[in-house]
Amino acid sequence: MSYALNIQQANAVLDEIRKDYTVFAPKRFPKQGRYSDTDIIRYAEISRFEDIVWDTKSDYPAKEVLTPIQQAIFYFTEDEYRESKGPKKPYLVLARPCDIAAQHVQQKIYAGNGGYTDVYYERVRKLVRFAMMECNGGDDTCFCVSMGTNRTDDYSLALKFSSEGVKVQVTDDDFTGYFKECPKAKYTPSFVEENELKVTVPDLDNAEVRKALKTHPMWNEYNSRCISCGACTVACSTCTCFTTRDVIYGDNPEVGERRRVTSSCQIEGFDQMAGQKEMRSTAAARMRFKVLHKFHDYKARFGDSHMCVGCGRCMHRCPEFISIAATVNKMSRAVEEIKAGMAEG
């Protein structure tokens, strides 16, 4: 069933839904951007329809709702501990198809990897329903079509926003009741079919090719360009890496909490082991690791899709204008070169 709501009607429905769900959506944080007089759009709980930023892609991904940058996982006192309490109310998360696809990736990492399920992820994930925001085409950093994440059917509601209000398709019976009073309209969501930016992911099945790619000079430019800040991975829709940290309350070391905090493979020291050994000690090596993880390793392990969903946020947030799309395309050219060299013997 589909409906067309003006802003007032949308707010009335939102008020009703909010009685049963915590509603998260991209929200504008004025003047909180990296540069002065620029804004940040990131996920937050919303209470008004007007808070929803639908015409611009958010700077930070929807993953922050499910896996916040910082989260207490348990609290301890002497020899006792208590797990942190997860949310009670279900979540309704407004997200574009790329962000929904990203949760399928995150789910594999957190709850389908080596037979272990992360309870902190799972307890939230099972409470999440998606309201798919029909994508208006994104921006010049989007390449969802190349990654096959432009379409999704994982949603309870589909939403098409305009300055007048929103068209809604309800696909989940749990939500039908909220729209009883709303005017019906014809609406089926459409999906982005082409991006300006296109990415060709190389075939890396051959271990010899991968070995040659590892030492290919294409990576060297990132030693001077990448500042290893990790902004790309914080903004990434799919990155899951975190570290844990014990925080002691005051001066009593027996009372405190264990937190999980987002971490980044791009930051120096990420892979430092006992004895100070680092596996990837240069920006180029870290970049190579990230790119291969997103465009080969994940798929090699889980089979169905690449890890990258093509949301483009890493490029959007990179202060040094490093484009992952350009990097992958460079990698494709390097692979062709390697394969041609191998054919010549």
Partner 1 sequence: MNRDINVKQMRINCFRQSKVPGEFMLQMRVPGGVVDAKYLDNVRYIAQTWGDGNFHIGTRQTFDITGIKYDDIPAVNAYLEEYIREIDQELCEVDMDQVAHQPQPWDPKSGYPTIGARNISACIGNYHCICANINTFALASELEKIIFPSHYHIKINIAGCPNDCNKAHLCDFGIIGVGKMVYHPERCIGCGACVRACIKGSTRVLELNEENGKIIKDECCCVGCGECVRACPASAWTRSEEPLYRVILGGRTGRQTPRTGKMFLNWASKDVIIGVLKNWQEFSAWVMDYKPEYLHGGHLIDRAGYKKFKEIVLKGVELNPECLVAEDIFWHETEYRSNFNVKPMEMHHTAGPRNGTD
Binding site for partner 1 (CB under 8 A): 29-37, 40, 42, 59-60, 68-70, 229-231, 233-234, 245, 247-248, 261-264, 267, 317, 319
CB of 82 to partner 1, least distance (A): 20
DSSP string, 30-44: TT-SSSTT--EEEEE
Amino acid making up residue 214 = K
Q: Which is nearer to partner 1, 35 or 116 (CB)?
A: 35
| Cβ-contact 133, 311 below 8 angstroms | no
Place of tokens 């997200």: 95
For tokens 């929200």, name the residue: 27
- Pick the closer one to partner 1 by CB: 158 or 291: 291
Shortest distance, position 70 Cβ to partner 1, whole Å: 5
Please report how close the Cβ of residue 259 comes to partner 1 at its closest, in angstroms.
8
By C-beta, is 69 or 255 nearer to partner 1?
Answer: 69
For the bound state, the minimum distance from the C-beta of residue 231 to partner 1, rounded and expressed in Å, comes to 4
Quick one: 177 or 319, whose CB is closer to partner 1? 319
Cβ distance to partner 1 smaller for residue 125 or 260:
260
Both tokens assigned to 297: 């390793």
Alpha helices (runs of H) in the chain, residue ranges in sequence order: 7-20, 63-66, 97-111, 119-125, 144-147, 207-214, 221-225, 231-235, 283-292, 298-302, 313-317, 324-344
Q: What are phi and psi of 256, to 5 degrees?
A: 175, -160
Give the nearest distance from C-beta 238 to partner 1 in angstroms: 16
